[in-house]
C-alpha cells in the first residue's frame, strides 16, 4: 500500500534510501468510509490527499443549495484545496469519498520538512501541477469548443469504467450538465 505512492513518485524523480524512508515515516494512511469527508467548507485543508484506492470528489455548494462537482480523485491522483492548504485559509470546497477509499496524506505541518529534506520533491509536484494545469486548460477548451453531448461522449470514451461506476447525477454535475440530459443522451445512443 505504501509502496503505491513511493512507486508513483519514483516514476518522476529518483529517491535514495534515506528519502524513501523519510517519506514512509511522514506520510499517513487513512481508510475513508463511503461518504466520509476529508475536507469541509469553512475548514482549512489539512493536507494533500493521494488516492490509493477508491474514489474521492471535490465539490462546492451552489447558491441553489445543490452540489457542483469540480473534480474527481481516482487512484494515482492527488486531490486537495491547494490555496487553503498553502495560505491557511478556510476552504469553500468539500472533499468526500464516493466509495470506501484509501488515501495517503501529506499533512500541512509535514510538507515543508519534506520539501527541504527532499529537494527533488518540489520537482515532482511541479510536474504534477503542470500536468494538472494543462489538463484543466484542455477541459476549459472543450467546454467552449464542443457541445455538452460531445463532451459526454469523449469522457465516456476516455473513462469507460468510471462512467459505468459512478452515479449518473455525479457525472452530470462534473460535466456541467443535468442528469436528465445524460438520460436523453444515453437513450439516443441505444437507437
Partner DNA sequence: TGAATTTCTTAAAGTAGTTCAATTTTTAGT
Partner DNA sequence: ACTAAAAATTGAACTACTTTAAGAAATTCA
Reading the block at residue 152, the C-alpha cell is: 459526454
Please list the alpha-helical segments (H only) found in 27-119.
82-87, 108-117
Q: Which is nearer to DNA, 22 or 166 (CB)?
A: 166
118 touches DNA by CB under 7 A: no
Q: Which is nearer to DNA, 36 or 148 (CB)?
A: 148
Binding to DNA, residues 119-158 (CB under 7 A): 147-149
Residues engaged in binding its own copies (CB under 8 A): 60, 62-63, 68, 70-71, 81-83, 86, 115, 119-120, 122-123, 125-127, 129-134, 136-137, 139-141, 143-145, 173, 176
Distance in angstroms (rounded) separating the CA atoms of residues 150 and 144: 11
Smallest separation, CB 121 to DNA (Å): 37
Q: Which of 87, 141, 178, 189 binds DNA (CB under 7 A)?
A: 178
Q: Please name the helix (run of DSSP H) or strand (run of DSSP E) that holds residue 146, with its range, or none.
A: none
Helix (H, G, I), strand (E, B) or coil at 49: strand
Are 45 and 91 in contact, with CB atoms under 8 Å apart? Answer: yes
Distance in angstroms (rounded) separating the CA atoms of residues 79 and 60: 14
Query: Site residues (CB under 7 A) for DNA?
Result: 147-149, 167-169, 176-184, 186-187
Amino acid at each position: 500500500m505504501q509502496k503505491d505512492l513511493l512507486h508513483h513518485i519514483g516514476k518522476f524523480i529518483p529517491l535514495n534510501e534515506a528519502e524513501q524512508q523519510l517519506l514512509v515515516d511522514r506520510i499517513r494512511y487513512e481508510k475513508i468510509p463511503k461518504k466520509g469527508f476529508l475536507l469541509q467548507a469553512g475548514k482549512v485543508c489539512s493536507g494533500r490527499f493521494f488516492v490509493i484506492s477508491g474514489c474521492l470528489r471535490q465539490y462546492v455548494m451552489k447558491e441553489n443549495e445543490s452540489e457542483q462537482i469540480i473534480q474527481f480523485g481516482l487512484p494515482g491522483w492527488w486531490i486537495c484545496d491547494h490555496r487553503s492548504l498553502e495560505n491557511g485559509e478556510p476552504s469553500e470546497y468539500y472533499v468526500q469519498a464516493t466509495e470506501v477509499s484509501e488515501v495517503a496524506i501529506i499533512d500541512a505541518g509535514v510538507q515543508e520538512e519534506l520539501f527541504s529534506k527532499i529537494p527533488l520533491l518540489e520537482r515532482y509536484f511541479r510536474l504534477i501541477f503542470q500536468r494538472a494545469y494543462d489538463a484543466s486548460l484542455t477541459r476549459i477548451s472543450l467546454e467552449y469548443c464542443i457541445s455538452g453531448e460531445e463532451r459526454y461522449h469523449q469522457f465516456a470514451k476516455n473513462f469507460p469504467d468510471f462512467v459505468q461506476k459512478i452515479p449518473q447525477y455525479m457525472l452530470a454535475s462534473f460535466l456541467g450538465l443535468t442528469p436528465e440530459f445524460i438520460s436523453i443522451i444515453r437513450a439516443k445512443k441505444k437507437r
